[in-house]
Structure 1
Amino acid sequence: MKRLATFVILGDSAAAGTGDADKNGALRGWSYYLAAHFNQPLVYANLSRPGAQSAEVFIDQLPKALVLEPTLSAVIVGGNDALRNGFNPDVLRQNLRQTLKQLREVGSEIILLQLHEPTKIAPLPKTLGKILNRRINSVNTVIRAVGAEFGAHILAVRDIPGIYDRNRWHVDRMHPSKLGHQILAQYFREILAPRWDISPVTIDPVTQRARKDSLLWMLRHATPWFLKRSVDLLPAALLLVMGEYLKILTRRDRNAQAVLYFPEFVNHRESGIAQVHEERVS
């Protein structure tokens, strides 16, 4: 008899499956499709929540996951941290380190996801887009460094061919579509297949959303979300843009931005010292 596997999902909307709901509105997402193709007994628990930041993952979701003693864990987080006022990559790093450390202590294998470049699918004003990309790059740097420290497997979304094709994204242009989630499941399956018995993930036929349906969705869902988040996002965005222009007006050098250092952990058999990566963020 094949061993029982326990697969837990921690994180935000990218983990919860936003962008891929069934006819009843229940979210599925890449982890659902991946779990459906396991050829061994599987306990599947998606503990993620849309909107979650790294602190919630560590404080609220992780304890529930540890009770299950997972053999495989996915931790997908960082995007909401980057979108909030007061974003601090070091806080993200600390929360992610503690989360991965405790999952490793119960013997769990871990998979992570590095974020795409958001302005390639959702164009923004140049200055704001530049700031957002810097923040997302700093999130990816944290994920890469912490993942390497704890031996996690990392899927870099930006390396997936054709990932910015429109049909791979939901109408909100922030989350994968059903096709996008199934493609992510395929790539995670490739990462895990050498150690887990998982069948190839199949891709369902793609149905194009009518323009009318897309507009109705935006009015019903995107507009209320935008208004709710504007209280937090807009003041932060305005302050960041103003700060960017002040740097230009005062001719401050780009290198005067805050400098953060994250260790790039390498196998000690290959190097006697830890490499250091420098990341600059607004």
Structure 2
Amino acid sequence: MADDTQAGGRPDGKNVIGSYTAVGDSFTEGVGDPGPDGTYLGWADRLAVLLADRRARSAPPGDFRYANLAVRGRLLDRIVAEQVPRAKELAPDLVTFCAGGNDILRPGSDPDAIAERFEAAVADLGSAVGTVLVCTGFDTREVPVLRHLRGRIATYTAHVRAIADRYDCPVLDLWSLRSVQDRRAWSPDRLHLSPEGHTRVALRAAQVLGLEVPADPDQPWAPEPRRPASQVRRDNIVWAREHLVPWIGRRLRGESSGDAVAPKRPDLLPL
């Protein structure tokens, strides 16, 4: 067991995380936050940088190690089958486990049943790693298309919080992060965060883990000029043509955006 957590698995704010593995789907892979080399960055990569910086204050350079196993489009069962065993094998001090969102998007999905499978995975991970941080869903009341799923997402979020209580997991509470309810926190596809949105989530995750952060993740956005209704309509038409229709097409064909994608950091390596 890693030595940087309290009994029960929570970071104690004094000892320092030396290794981190991210598990999940497009949210954790970082879709919406492109890096200079063509791969995505995202909140997990940004959190790893903050953790590495904290580690560097008390350990040799390069001592912190990071893996990101997340793949866009993955459903919970495939994440559990492919990523959870690898995360257990790596046995890092910290795992962030954010999954189930793609399942909730499926018509007729049952958040209670999804939560049962999520809990089994949390219990499995907790037996092998130092700390398991879990993520709630976003509040989608202002998000086109997804707003009608708000009840399902809220139910799943309540389950995640309860599971965290049972297994003493820190919680990255995205539902209460008001700054990501601004449209500028989202990429043009309106399904993934923008670079600024990912940055704010990384800062909140660091706070949850007891780190001092360089900025307030819930700092209000600068006032935005009111857009004319005609501009809003044009933007919605462009979004539907370029993002919504292809997304629906993939669902009808049984395809996933991650079918040919491999994890970007499958091994624990220094940053």
> TM-score, normalized by length of structure 1?
0.68
Q: 1:16 aligns with which of 21, 29, 53?
A: 29
Amino acid aligned to 2:164:
G
Q: CA RMSD in A?
A: 3.2
SS of the aligned residue for 1:146 comes to helix
Distance 2:23 2:172 in 1: 15
Report matched runs for 1:10-89 at 5 Å: 10-38=23-51, 39=53, 40=55, 41-89=63-111
Structure showing greater radius of gyration is 1
Native 8 Å contact 1:185 1:201 kept in 2: no
State the partner residue of 1:101. 123
SS of the aligned residue for 1:118 comes to coil
**1:123 CA drift (Å):** 5.1
Native 8 Å contact 1:12 1:76 kept in 2: yes
**1:94 CA drift (Å):** 2.6
Distance 1:142 1:21 in 2: 32
**1:175 CA drift (Å):** 1.4
Cα distance change of structure 1 residues 137 and 4 upon mapping to structure 2, 3 Å threshold: closer
Amino acid aligned to 1:55:
D
Unaligned runs of 5+ in 1: 233-282
Native 8 Å contact 2:18 2:65 kept in 1: yes
Q: 1:166 aligns with which of 177, 180, 183?
A: 183
Distance 2:236 2:112 in 1: 38
State the partner residue of 2:201. 184
Amino acid aligned to 2:65:
V
Distance 2:38 2:240 in 1: 16
Matched residue pairs, number? 219
State the partner residue of 1:200. 214
Distance 1:34 1:156 in 2: 15
| Offset from partner CA, 1:138-168 (integer Å, 9 cap, x none) | 2112211111111111122232233211211
> TM-score, normalized by length of structure 2?
0.70
Amino acid aligned to 1:117:
D
**1:75 CA drift (Å):** 0.6
**1:86 CA drift (Å):** 4.2
Structure 1, 26-35 or 2-11: larger mean CA deviation: 2-11
**1:215 CA drift (Å):** 8.8
Q: Which has the higher contact order (CA 8 A, sep 6+)?
A: 2
Distance 2:38 2:138 in 1: 25
Structure 1, 163-172 or 220-229: larger mean CA deviation: 220-229
Structure holding more strand per residue: 1
**1:179 CA drift (Å):** 0.1
Native 8 Å contact 1:112 1:153 kept in 2: yes
Unaligned runs of 5+ in 2: 1-14, 56-62, 223-230, 255-271
Aligned-pair identity in percent equals 26
Distance 1:29 1:166 in 2: 17
Native 8 Å contact 2:189 2:243 kept in 1: no
State the partner residue of 2:269. none
Q: 2:173 aligns with which of 121, 145, 156?
A: 156
Distance 1:202 1:25 in 2: 28
Cα distance change of structure 1 residues 47 and 92 upon mapping to structure 2, 3 Å threshold: same
Amino acid aligned to 2:246:
P
Native 8 Å contact 1:34 1:186 kept in 2: yes
Distance 1:218 1:178 in 2: 22
Native 8 Å contact 2:112 2:156 kept in 1: no
**1:85 CA drift (Å):** 3.4
State the partner residue of 1:6. 19
Cα distance change of structure 1 residues 219 and 43 upon mapping to structure 2, 3 Å threshold: farther
Cα distance change of structure 1 residues 119 and 104 upon mapping to structure 2, 3 Å threshold: same
1:134 partnered with 2:151: yes
